[in-house]
Structure 1
Amino acid sequence: MIDRRMQHVPRLGRTPSRFRLVGTPIITVMLGSMATMAPIIAQSPVLPPFGLLALLAWRLLRPEMWRAWIALPLGLFDDMASGQPIGSAVFLWTIVLIAIDFVEQRLIWRDYWHDWLIAGLAIIFCTLGGMAFAGMTGGGMVRLMLVLPQICWSILLFPFVARQCAWIDRWRVMA
């Protein structure tokens, strides 16, 4: 016979696993980067860069969690998953994370609107930079008018992605 006192294990004082704490944000960014593999047929780029959105959401939500070097492996994975020239997301994402570190040192406090503005500028920089990298490597030049809907859609979608990352973060730290 099983003692009933042994069946209930209290959750107070327990900590989540190391893989859950460290691996969950990395896996969500990698899954966001793999969203470009979805079988969507379009005449122009319309799918937001979900990997970049997840990276920005995690970085702005938990600034102490990642250093700027995390952009190297995640950017390399994004380049391989999205078909961009190797090194474009590595370079652009690293510049963005360094810029976010610089801005955070200068701001005394930051709220929701600041995060959205920082993410919007980062999305514009990375999208236009990715377009420039693709043009330099012979991928053909895309007109700016074709990329504007993707930029606007990505900026408008950032609060939703940030909310989803906050929800995942709540699960991540829960014992």
Structure 2
Amino acid sequence: MKTLAKSKRRQRHESPFEQGPRRFASHLPWVSILVASSLAILPFMSMRGWWPDFGLLMLLGWRMQRSDAFPNWYAIPLGLANDLLTGHPIGLSVVTYNFALLMIDIIDARRMWNYWWSEWLVAALLVTFAELLQWFVAYVQDAAIPIKALIPPVIIMIFFVPIALAIASALDRYRLRQRRGAKP
């Protein structure tokens, strides 16, 4: 009887941060990417198209913070959902997301150390590639978009990279129930 009371007392006083992963923890990465992609349907108006691709930023944030958060094939349904939510031609985000994940995996395999500035540089290059690919697809479809119209979204996305990395890190700590600075 005493051991039962002690175990109940111990359970009550345990910190929720040290109990292991939360239920449905494996779903949090892709759900957060879908939520970030759905920010494109908010009723903001822009004459110049400055709205960045937040889905791509969250995808990069998750992949750079934790490479085992989801498998690479998740890029296909996530890219398709992003295409449907943002109005891109179907398959454009699928190609962009797959390319981004493959490039991050190749770079991570070659890099010896991870530095904050190197992750930011890789994300900046991938964001620039994604915007150039969107511009090229629009150009092929005879959409008259000047190339300088890419400058605001690229700059905004490059400055949002650390924020996306921080959000992905905070969500990862939440899903794994870890305190900041706690030893595993």
The two structures have a TM-score, normalised by structure 1, of 0.89
Aligned to 2:174: 171
CA distance in 2, matches of 1:165, 1:14: 20
Aligned to 2:94: 90
Structure 1 residue runs of 5 or longer lacking an equivalent are none
Aligned to 1:124: 128
Q: Tell me, yes or no, if structure 1 residue 156 matches structure 2 residue 159.
A: yes
Deviation at residue 23 of structure 1 after TM alignment: 0.9
Determine if contact 1:88/1:130 at 8 Å carries over to the other structure. yes
Alignment of 1:9-28 (within 5 A): 10-11=14-15, 14-19=19-24, 21-28=25-32
Deviation at residue 113 of structure 1 after TM alignment: 0.6
| Structure showing greater Rg | 2
Identify the range of structure 1 (61-70 vs 33-42) with the bigger mean alpha-carbon deviation: 61-70
CA distance in 2, matches of 1:160, 1:65: 18
**Structure 1 residues 141 and 97, CA gap change in structure 2 (3 angstroms):** farther
CA distance in 1, matches of 2:98, 2:83: 13
State the aligned residue count: 171
Determine if contact 2:33/2:58 at 8 Å carries over to the other structure. yes
Q: Tell me, yes or no, if structure 1 residue 105 matches structure 2 residue 141.
A: no
Q: Tell me, yes or no, if structure 1 residue 53 matches structure 2 residue 57.
A: yes
Alignment root-mean-square deviation, CA:
2.1
CA distance in 2, matches of 1:35, 1:139: 27
Determine if contact 1:33/1:78 at 8 Å carries over to the other structure. yes
Determine if contact 1:135/1:141 at 8 Å carries over to the other structure. yes
Q: Partner letter of residue 79 of structure 1?
A: D
Structure 2 residue runs of 5 or longer lacking an equivalent are 179-184
Deviation at residue 122 of structure 1 after TM alignment: 0.5
Deviation at residue 159 of structure 1 after TM alignment: 0.5
Aligned to 1:30: 34
- Over the matched positions of the two proteins, sequence identity in percent amounts to 27
